[in-house]
Amino acid sequence: MYPLTPLKLFAHESIKDDPLSRARMERIIGGTRPVDDELVWVDNSNMPEVVEQLKSLWPPDEVPEGFERTHMRPLVFTRVYTDGEFPELNKDLLGWPDGTDEATVRSILGHFLPIQAYHSYEKDAKEDMVCWPTFDFGLMTNCPHGCHYCGAGKHGKYLTIACNAEEHMEKVVRPAMERYPWQRCFRMIGWGAEMLAFEPEAGIFDLFTKTLAEQDRYGYFHAASSNVDFVADLERKDRLVGIFSVTTEMIAEVLEPGSGHAFDRFEAGRKLGEMGVPFRYKFKPTIPVVNWREEYSRAIEYALTVSEPESVGFCVIMWNTVDSLLEKIDEELLDPVYLQAARDAAEEMAGVRVGPYPHEVRKEVYRFMFREVRKHSDDVKLYMSTESRAMWDDIGEETGQDASSFFCGCSSVAPPGGRVQLSQGCPYSTYRAPEHIEKD
Ligand code: SF4
């Protein structure tokens, strides 16, 4: 696992009497180099005090030589709540002061969702998004990478790790696979998290791949990490597909401070290939930085020289306005011509999900990327991730794929092999809304 250097370690008392959770926590702690190695047990009596500490511990004023600031976030170990609705919290009854932050309390108690639905046809029709409906699983929140363009990465004050993975498989993962027979592939992704950072100590992908095998399904890790050596020892790695969020050297170095060199992920792809595990690349977000053409063409060349992914996709940075983008990324890092185009289009793009870059700018970026990929591979599948219908209508053909049934990265119906396996519950991508759903 990553050699994290957490400022402090906390564990909810519910772990104490659960031997499997406790063993998982101890394995993970054994893989870290904590600044303060005393484990603080949290119960109702010290909850407000711990919540206050979590508010202020990270970021530290000073980072010792050889440490990475973003790897110093405190770790909170808990058990994710798997019994349906979260219980009410009566702070008065518990004697907690008024200001005790409920979101932090709920994280410590493991009150975050163990499964979430994304990209329903209804939602994607409303938001004009082309993707695939899916149910995803998670046992962690927040991430040690600290990516500037990601809220959880940049601002998350601590990482929460749910240790009851066996219970999660039993009560959440297996029942979901039974309930949704149409879904062929499931993501174990966490929420704004980097779950690979904790392997093999966490042992979550061992359990997950075994559960997938039992249910005759496939599963994804979704990572901006190159920590894949553990995959070689997974008994059921034949059920795993690796999805890598990839980027350029400059972006990894400046905007993803805790994630390692950009090309390490392509080397990780190569290693998976040698293990016989399929993998796919997703340049998400694709950021029009200064010199973006040179940056991306170097990354694409490296990716396709050292490894053979099943697909390569792109998503020009979206979900932003010009102002919110500039809060995350320094203006001098961005291509000035494209930034000006975004500024000029600010009115047109107000409230538009794919903003701030207007259609023509995004289109030019995609076309460049497609050409670069095709210089090195004639047959790798190309795709755009979570783009608008208009973009698929305009340049979808250039991917060589059908907008309704394209093979991408983490689709719910894309088992290994480069072909989607459409099913009755998922007959096509969200490019097409089923007849009963209004687009507007
Ligand atoms: S890779 Fe495919 S399924 Fe995954 S987010 Fe992108 S469009 Fe959606």
CA 185 / ligand 1 centre spacing (Å): 12
CA 99 / ligand 1 centre spacing (Å): 39
Domain ranges of the chain: 1-111, 113-142+163-435
CA 29 / ligand 1 centre spacing (Å): 33
**What is the mean pLDDT of the segment spanning 363-384?**
98
Q: How confident is the model at residue 439 (pLDDT cuts 50, 70, 90)?
A: very low
CATH class for domain 113-142+163-435? Answer: alpha beta
Position 435 scores a pLDDT of 67
CA 410 / ligand 1 centre spacing (Å): 5
Q: What is the DSSP string of 296-323?
A: HHHHHHHHHHH---SEEEEEE--S--HH
Task: Indicate whether 427 pLDDT > 60.
Answer: yes
Position 114 scores a pLDDT of 97
Position 436 scores a pLDDT of 54
CB atoms within 10 A of CB 347: 6
Proportion of the chain above pLDDT 90, given as a percent: 92
pLDDT digits (tens, 9 = 90+) for 18-47: 999 999 999 999 999 999 999 999 999 999
Q: Is the CB of 133 under 6 A from ligand 1?
A: no
Position 440 scores a pLDDT of 38
**Which atom of ligand 1 is nearest to 406's Cα?**
2
User: Measuring CA to CA, which residue among 328, 1, 6, 2 is closest to residue 159?
Assistant: 6
Q: Is the CB of 186 under 6 A from ligand 1?
A: no
Task: Select from 183, 282, 399, 428 the residue to mutate for testing ligand 1; criterion: most ligand atoms less than 8 Å from CB.
Answer: 282
**What is the mean pLDDT of the segment spanning 325-335?**
96
Q: What is the DSSP string of 234-297?
A: -TTGGGEEEEEE---HHHHHHH-TTS--TTHHHHHHHHHHHHT--EEEEEEEE--BTTHHHHHH
Q: Is the CB of 318 under 6 A from ligand 1?
A: no
Q: Is the CB of 248 under 6 A from ligand 1?
A: no
Single pTM value for the model:
0.96
Q: Helix 102-109 to helix 47-56 angle, to the nearest 10 degrees? A: 110
